[in-house]
Amino acid sequence: MTVDIAPARSFRSVGQFIDLPFRLHAGTPWVTPLKLERRLFLSRRFGPYAKRMDFELFLARREGRVVGRVSAHIDHAYNRHHDERRGWFGFFECEDDPEVARALLDTAAAWLTERGMSRMSGPADFAMNDESGIVIEGHELAPMIRQPWHPPYYQGLCEAAGLEKEVDLLMWRIEVSDRDEMNPVLEEMAREAHEKHGITIRRMSRRHLRRDLDVFGEVYNRAWRRNFGFVPYDKHDLDQYALELQLAYDRDWFMVAEIAGEPVAIAVTIPDLNQVLRRMNGRLLPLGWWHFLRKGATIDRIRVGFLGVRQEFRHTGAAAALYVEHFEVAARHPRIKGGDTGWILETNRAMNRGMEAMHGRVEKRYRVYHRELTPSG
């Protein structure tokens, strides 16, 4: 039986694209997203990346039955910033069938090659700050918000299709009880940050969240600029991010470290909405909205999504001050038991040493792959 690959552009085919993991991952730790949110995310008109990227969605079928999916996309902002011709694949889902996986990835590679790209990396849905990488450790664990989940055979499918490792992304698990095991140097550095360098920590406000995200964008664009996958946030990105964060906003966890009113570091930590999404089963109706409104009674874990310090202030202990502040906040939240920090690049020695000092343990590992492309004549 041959594998047929075709673009998914119609309302029905995009629906099939969205529905595939619901069938493939039923009964697994995978968490069902809201189908309406996925429709908007993939929209060529309303999607958050519609203006920044060229992309195509592909479905694989055998005898009319959907057996796999993938996207191919070009992030023009990424290529301008890094002066590269890199293309990406994402949203990879597939039955345990090497022929289907190779056909999907070859199709994505051909689409990117036709448009002059010299390397294909991924998966990234659509960007590295959304779901990215293939799960290679932690298959037995439920994903937190904006973490992917894949069955163990996905790694073999990708590597059999000729993809090679680019970099691993690490998720560190930290429990509230770990404070007793934390390296005491961190407490000393946090104390010095406040007493010697005058660091204070304030909270972002819901009312002024968009204004505070200008601060986030400034710190993020400086602190992360050398990281793999980095794309600077512009005004459009921050407008979109402010809308998304309104749903996850929790004042205690949105922090800005300042010296004399100047922002030097930020931490954006998000309650694990996946614990609520699991109960909603992909739909707002009939009772999904009720679970969301009562999310405070459900969520007991957090994800530290962003924690960064401007390069010129890394000597101040601002990171340690934010680490310790997270323990302080957790102590005031009787439901919060712990959470994940990351992802963190395996090559980011400073951040990984910081996680070790907090008595963290790597519990999930995601692999980003690449394939060299030969531009067509």
The full set of domains in the chain, from first to last, is 4-170+368-372 (3.40.630.30), 183-358 (3.40.630.30)
Residue whose token pair is 């949110």: 37
pLDDT digits 0-9 by tens, 233-243: 989 889 988 88
How do residues 240-255 score in pLDDT, each as one tens digit?
Answer: 888 888 888 888 899 9
Q: Which amino acid is it at 122?
A: G
- Among positive and negative, which fits the CA dihedral 328, 329, 333, 338? negative
Q: Give which of 316, 326, 192, 336 is closest to 265, Cα–Cα.
A: 316
Per residue in 342-360, pLDDT tens? 899 999 998 899 899 888 9
Range 262-269 average pLDDT = 90
Beta bridge partners of 370: 121, 164
Band the pLDDT of 333: cuts 50, 70, 90.
confident
- Name 334's Cβ contacts closer than 8 Å, sequence gap at least 6: none
Q: Which bin fits 283, alpha (ψ -120 to 50), beta or left (φ > 0)?
A: beta
For residue 76, the surrounding DSSP H or E stretch is: helix 76-82
Using one digit for the tens of pLDDT, what is the confidence trace for 298-323? 788 889 888 888 888 989 999 999 99
- The tally of CA atoms less than 13 A away on the side-chain side of residue 32 is 18
| Mean pLDDT calculated for residue range 215-235 | 86
The whole-angstrom separation of Cα 77 and Cα 82 is 9
- Statement: residue 23 has pLDDT above 90: yes
Question: What is the bridge-based pairing of β-strands 65-75 and 86-94?
Answer: antiparallel
For the cut 80, the answer to whether the pLDDT of residue 34 exceeds it is: yes
| Dihedrals phi, psi of 265, to nearest 5 degrees | -160, 155
Mean pLDDT of 176-205: 91
DSSP letter at 298 equals T
pLDDT average, residue stretch 77-97: 95
pLDDT surpassing 80 at residue 289: no
Using CA atoms, how far residue 120 sits from 71, 81, 88, 163, 198, in Å, is 12, 17, 5, 9, 46
- Dump pLDDT digits (tens) for 163-172: 999 999 999 9
Query: For residue 240, which phi and psi values (nearest 5 degrees)?
Result: -65, -40
- Whose CA is closest to 139, among 29, 32, 33? 29
Q: Determine the pLDDT at residue 337.
A: 86
In the chain, the percentage of residues whose pLDDT exceeds 90 is: 58
Residue 246: the pLDDT is 84
Whether the per-residue pLDDT at 290 is higher than 70: the answer is no
Mean pLDDT of the chain: 90
Q: Given pLDDT bands bounded at 50, 70 and 90, which one contains residue 225?
A: confident
Nearest to 100 by CA among 50, 147, 40, 58: 58
- Radius of gyration in angstroms for the set of CA atoms belonging to the chain, rounded to a whole number: 21
The 10s digit of each residue's pLDDT in 108-117 is 999 999 999 9
Contacts (Cβ under 8 Å, ≥6 apart) of 177 = 338
Instruction: Give me the mean pLDDT over the 108-131 stretch.
Output: 95
Distance CA 32, CA 279 (A): 9
Mean pLDDT confidence for 179-204: 92
Say whether pLDDT at 129 is over 50: yes
Angle at 61 between CA 60 and CA 67, to 5 degrees: 70
Q: What is the pLDDT of residue 121?
A: 98
% pLDDT > 70, the chain:
95
What pLDDT score was predicted for residue 297? 64
pLDDT tens-digit readout, 36-83: 889 999 999 888 888 889 999 999 999 999 999 999 999 999 999 999
Tokens in use for 222? Answer: 């400086």
What does the alpha-carbon distance between residue 26 and residue 286 come to, in Å, rounded to a whole number?
A: 21
